[in-house]
Structure 1
Amino acid sequence: MNIKRPLFSIVFVLLLIIIISFLPISYVGPSGEVVKASSSVVIDPGIQVYYEEFDNSTTNFLYLADNELEAVENLTLEKSGYGKIYFKDKINLTQDSTTGVIDLDSNINISYNHIEVDPTKLTSLNRSAVLYFYNLKFTNPRILRDGSVCPANICKIIKYTSSGMLKFNVTSFSVYSAEETPSSSPTPTSTGTTSGGGGISLTPGFTVDKDFIITSITQSKSKKESITITNTGSDSSFSIQIDSSDLNKFMTLSDTSISLNSGESKTITIDISANERAKIDAYAGNIIIQGKSSTKIINVALEVKPVLSDLDINTKVLNKNAQPNQNIFANIEIVNKGDPNILLGYAVKDFDGNIFTFKEENLSVKQYVNLTRKLKLSKTIPIGNYILYSKADNKYTNITSIDVFKVTGIQAGNVYFSFETLNIILIMIILTAVVFYLKQKKYIKLN
């Protein structure tokens, strides 16, 4: 039997079906419009958010579906070296969508000593927020709104650090900047809107030998850590400070200001001590090093442990690099010589003390247990360094343990297959099966 002709016919028909299915098909709709349909892999981009001007801890909008853009949590927009905007309330960005686009780049300006949001184009952002200015050079700054002194019922300074970081609340948006507070302030007059601008060019002029300090201290004990600063540029003077009221209780710097010639290095000693009444807990914060043209931040985490305890805990993050919307896994070991009823809590925190996700459970641990636990990171968690914090409590004592990890990277968009495309894939599978069957049949007949 000659099987070439039926095989050719089958292959021809199937190929014809595939080709036709890929051709665009036009038909007249009920309103007289011409509608075109075609079979292909469809990538549905949804609403597009333009935010290329922002970096660092900025919310990663690539993760968010259209319905999630209706309630964005912890929305953050940052521009390294210049400033940041942080919204505590949930934001419905979709109300600012124009032809499927939310353009943050064109309607928000974060530059040196200048934060501006156009409230007519981004109505969803015209609400209370926390603003940050970086690298200011003032001694006693005050906030300006549209070039005039901002009223106390609109602007409230939270803190100003020696590194030039000014943090303040606002109730709504316009143009914000800062200036030195005069020794005798005249009655302010309106001067109109201040202009944006390039501001100061920030070129890193020094290096630091570490990014993290993760350490522990026992009550009634003391120890030392250190950081080494090397001047690699034209900066000559540097300020160093601990940006945490909690860490300031336990840490003292040997120097808070230094002068270095180009190429010169200096080691700063950090004395760490805890008295016998220090609270058993894990503390986090930052050491900020400020030069003339740039700032570097060292993340610090400190565990305070008891002198004697019938309970111990150790935490180790298993995936040190994670992405938003992924799980973070940790190995938690508990050694218990006391009451077997343990309350275990574990959380993801940043170095400013903000908690992003938390779980708690009751355990019965008579001597030892080794657990693996996971916490789901939110889709909107900012890129950066984080702490996985665990705490065990029994009837008589509690103890904590920490480890660090980094949130980084982006997730690809979703690819959707149309019904016609799935048909094509199915036809190709059937075609392959038919050809294989006919070849096998021919082989059997020949033998």
Structure 2
Amino acid sequence: MTSQTTAPTAPHSSNAHVDPAAQVADAGFVPVQTRSERPHSFDPSDFGAPTGREVNWKHTPVARLSDLFAPATTNDGVGYVLGAGEQYVAAPLGIGTAPRGEFFRAEDVTAAVAWQGAAEAMHIRIPREEEVAEPILVTVEGRGAEHRADAHIVIEALEHSAATVVLQHRGAAQYAQNVEIIARAGSRLTVVSLQQWDDDAVHAAAHQARVDADATLKHFVISFGGGVVRVNPNVELAGAGSEGYLYGLSYADSGQHLESQVYLHHKGAHTKGDVLYKGALQGEGAHSVWIGDVLIGPDATGTDSYEANRNLVLTEGARADSIPNLEIETGDILGAGHASATGRFDDEQLFYLQARGITEEEARRLVVLGFLSDIVQRLGIPALETELLASIEAELAAGAGA
């Protein structure tokens, strides 16, 4: 398979292969386990259709995503509604038009499909030294589960600017999406991807971000709706003094599959990273997947990094897969660690609350709200925080009535 270093304007030829996360050598079948070593290409045919045996697909229900393994014949599955901040949407970017492809590299078939299928990319551009007070809101409206759409979105914060961009997904569609994020030197950027799809929606997204010197990126993946939602963030702290905060929140119901494969690459010196994803699950067949990879490169001296995933399983029949990974290629760091925990209600917490006259149902509600609201409160967007807390309450009520 050919790895691309520049965005191609036309399909290219490559050696045929089946598994994009593995190579066949004379010594036998050698899987690529390290995230940083995965090959990449903008041509979907280089990847082929996943079978579910590949390292980056083995926890995913590939049959339910199969419509996204080839470009859409008609790219009309979603519409885009711009709320506050419409003035920051620049001219669309064709393939080969900078900054599209400045950092983004497709590392699986759905990302390559979205790249080829999106003839024009939406470009959200924050001017140099401008601070945008209100969140820039882009609502992605699905037009029905029978419709397909491919998309590439570029979010660019120029030097010393500050902004928050919210991508809100509603309705239903079969949606392959790339989000390319560039936080230039000294900028402060928050990007929120909010999945509130209908139950029959399928959404596969690759978010890739580069954070330059002294810039800060806060990135949120919040998934409540959708039949299958797979949002995979890849953040490179490229510049000295850059910071990345990657947060996630999910609530999986019966039959839902909510997944994030998170990659944080400390490349520059004196970078800081914090990864925290939390999830709740209830109902038969509810499934969440979190795979966290942190790489501290050889030049990332003075790094401070930590990643964690916490899951609360509320009922029988739900399953959470959680896999943290950490690679360190320099000994000169401030600190690094990772953690993962999946469990049921804490009986001691419930006993404590019930001993003070609180009913078991209300005690469970308080425990779940306390567990998940930690992520909600990090948003810093009061209206959205209120909306998400109400969504959690609705999920709890639905679970109690099941």
1 or 2 for the larger relative contact order (CA 8 Å, sep ≥6)?
1
TM-score range, shorter chain: under 0.3
Max radius of gyration: which structure? 1
Q: TM-score, normalised by structure 2?
A: 0.21
